[in-house]
Every structure is written in C-alpha cells, then in structure tokens.
Amino acid sequence: MSEATREIRTDYLARVEGEGAMLVRIRDGALEEVQFRIFEPPRFFEALLRGRRFSEAPDITARICGICPIAYMASSAQAMERACGVELPEQLRLLRRLVYCGEWIESHVLHVAMLHAPDFLGYDGAIELARDRRDLVELALRLKKLGNELMRVIGGREVHPVNFRVGGFYRVPAEAELRALVPELEWAREAARELVRWTAGFEFPDYEREYAFVALSQPGEYAIERGRIVSSTGLDIDVAEYEQHFAETHLERSNALHSTLAGVGAYLVGPLARYALSHDRLSDVAQEAAEEAGLGPVCRNPFKSIVVRAVETLYAVDEALRIIAAYERPATPAVPCLPRAASGHGCTEAPRGICWHRYELDAEGTILDAKIVPPTSQNQKTIEEDLVGVVRASLDLPDERLAHVCEQTIRNYDPCISCATHFLRLEVERS
C-alpha cells in the first residue's frame, strides 16, 4: 500500500444490535465513497404474516426485536384497530403509552450508559466504565430494571410481552399493581436527571447538519403511541398517507431498505427529530433538564443525541408517574374488534424513531399483505451522509482514530440492525 493509500477495516461494529459492516474508501486524500452493508440475514416477517389472522400480528411482530417489542406490538395493534374502525378507550390508550414508557426507559438507558457513553469517555466498553464509575453503571442498571418492570407489570413479561391484543390487553393491572411502582419511579426521576447532567458534561465533536426531521406529532403531548407524521420540511400527514410521501429502495450491498422522503431525500427519525418537533410538549421537569443541559429548542449535533435520549428517559419516567396517578382500572381489558376487508395503518415512536406498519385484510380478517418500516432502515441513508460529513472533517486523523469516530457516528443512532434487516463491519480504504 502506498503512502497515499490508507485502508482501515473493522469487520464487526461493536456495541450495536445485529450484524453489519461499513466501508469508507479514501483516494488521494479525498473521500470517495461511504457504504453501509447490512448482512444480518433477512427474516421475511412481512411474508410470513400473509395468511395469518389479523389478531396474530402483535405477537408475531413482537418477535422482530427483543429490545423494542412494544413498538412493533403497538404499531401493528393500532393498524388492526384502524382497519376494524375501532378507537381505544382513553384508559386503554394510556396503558399502551405507559408500557411504551417502560420500553423507552430500558432501551434508552441501555444505549446511553452501556453502549454510547464509553465513546465519549475513552473506554472500550461498559465493563471498563463500570470499573471506574460503578455508581453510574449501577444507577443505569437500576433505571433499566424499572423500565423492564413496567413492561412486565403491564405486558406480562419483559421480553416479547404476552399481554397485548388487538383492541387492548388480555388483562389490565389493578391500581395497586401500578401504584406499587411509584416509589421507584420517584427515585428514577432524580436518577434520570443525573443521567442528563452526566451526559451533558461530555465533550462533543463540533458537527452539525440541517436534518430533515420526521416524527409523530400529537397536540398537547410528546407523541409516543399516536399522532400525525410531521417533518421539519412542512409535511403533516395521517399515517395512512405515508407511502404517498416516503419511498423504500433496495440497494444490492445491504439487506435493509433505504428510505427517502419525496422532494427531500434522506431524513432523520428518532430522539433528535422528536425533540426538534415537540420539545415544547415535554413535561416541565424534562424541559428544565434540557435547558440546563444547553440543548436549546433544536439540536442538530447527532453526537448530542445521547443527551436527548437522557432527557427522553426523564420524560418517560415523569409521564409514567402522571399516568399512574390518574389510572383507574378499565372495566374491560379490551374492546371488540370485528375484522372487515380494509387496509390498516399504524405508526408509533419506537425508541429509535417511527415504526410504520400497513396491513391489507380480507373480510374474515386474514392478512393479505403486510409492510413494516422500522426506524433504523429509515435512518440508514442519513447515517451514511453523516459519515461522509464526519470523515471529510476528519481526514487528517490516523486510521485507528478515524475508525473510532466513524463507529461513534453510527452509534449516535443506536442502530438496531436486527430490526432493519429486510446492518456492521467497518472498512476504510485509502488509495
């Protein structure tokens, strides 16, 4: 290899969920190409849903992800309920939001403390961090356990919950079961504030981009389990109109599809998008913490997504307390949903961004067609564009350091490769 040729390869990217690779090619000191290659095997969930009953979709799609099963269950259940023309009663909707808060807490805390924080502190991973900062790792583990507990109490178990159904739940918790969580949630509110202060103190690379943010939006609340799809570029649509504005393209190099927004191109979903589009709807406690952390109304530095995740963790804890305080056990755990020949669309805010589903049903409720768009595949093109920007700004770095910055850039997105596969080895070639 000549002096002008530099090649860096990282075969498997660490601290992300699933299998994938990345290639960065640099020729004569200039960046030539950046590629993601997702080689996690495709799992054909959309195909195996065809021919199944509409009522089976939440349990089947939950198996797409062990970190964020609620996102798949909530989006598919919402799609089926819309297809049946059913709207959930308020208390059942709030229970869905509450179990979703549990998923946000456990997923965000895992990523913030165990997977992403080591990047900013110079550790190889969570083990080294735990040896130096046992207090913070213990705080994170306790917060995460609380998120899991919310999922267990409402969902029946922590992984792939069993208590979700189209129309509501199989069983709804008694008031006392939820109120028993209040003391730990009150501890968690302070712990999450500490998480925000800790992450806000990190040093962040000086990098910003004008992202096209896309998120759900719901008047009066920080959208999680319902809302219209809106963007920073002026889009404001019902979830049923998604396919008129967003396109998925298959690229030979990847088992995940690339998503684009018509007239815009790459777009960003997830914490930065939600925060930019709805930060004024966060609770007072979360807004104060964001302000103390110096976030401002819009954050365009993807490396600061770790701070936004911490703010969203605080919000999820606060929101869980609010929901539990007002909770009255619904008279029935579910409302009847009678199938009809119809299309049903569902979209909810998974921890990593919007998770969109469409199903076509026949009159008996058999699924004729299914389409599922997870958040990581929507962010894939934006991640590549971030890498281009970050590598161009860092060409003088030695290979090892450049590889680290690239990996850190990818981890900004908490990519869930397993979900996106329908993603990471890192290769940097310089010639």
| Residues lying near another protein in the complex (CB under 8 A) | 15-19, 40-41, 48, 56, 59-60, 62-63, 65-67, 110-111, 114-115, 125-127, 130-131, 134, 137-138, 141, 144-145, 148, 156-160, 162, 418
The distance of closest approach from Cβ of residue 337 to another protein in the complex, given in angstroms and rounded to an integer, is: 18
Distance CA 108, CA 67 (A): 10
The distance of closest approach from Cβ of residue 115 to another protein in the complex, given in angstroms and rounded to an integer, is: 6
Token couple for 81: 């309920």
Q: How far is CA 259 from CA 347, 352, 360, 363, 376, in A?
A: 16, 15, 21, 31, 10
The distance of closest approach from Cβ of residue 152 to another protein in the complex, given in angstroms and rounded to an integer, is: 8
Element holding 274 (H helix, E strand): helix 271-278
CA count, 13 A, side-chain hemisphere, 72 = 27
The distance of closest approach from Cβ of residue 282 to another protein in the complex, given in angstroms and rounded to an integer, is: 27
Minimum CB distance to another protein smaller for 119 or for 158: 158
Q: What are phi and psi of 302, to 5 degrees?
A: -60, -25
Q: How far is CA 176 from CA 95, 180, 204, 328, 382, in A?
A: 14, 6, 44, 10, 45
Neighbours of 210 (CB within 10 A): 7
The distance of closest approach from Cβ of residue 16 to another protein in the complex, given in angstroms and rounded to an integer, is: 6
Minimum CB distance to another protein smaller for 133 or for 300: 133
Minimum CB distance to another protein smaller for 307 or for 416: 416
Distance CA 385, CA 377 (A): 14
Minimum CB distance to another protein smaller for 69 or for 227: 69
The distance of closest approach from Cβ of residue 214 to another protein in the complex, given in angstroms and rounded to an integer, is: 25
Contacts of 35 (CB under 8 A, 6+ apart): 22, 23, 253, 384
Distance CA 301, CA 412 (A): 10
Minimum CB distance to another protein smaller for 131 or for 401: 131
Minimum CB distance to another protein smaller for 157 or for 392: 157
Minimum CB distance to another protein smaller for 154 or for 266: 154
Cα-Cα end-to-end distance for the chain: 8
The distance of closest approach from Cβ of residue 425 to another protein in the complex, given in angstroms and rounded to an integer, is: 12
The one-letter code for the residue type at 273 is A
The distance of closest approach from Cβ of residue 129 to another protein in the complex, given in angstroms and rounded to an integer, is: 9
Minimum CB distance to another protein smaller for 13 or for 200: 13
| Neighbour order of strands in the sheet with 426-430 | 7-10, 426-430, 20-27, 30-38
Element holding 37 (H helix, E strand): strand 30-38
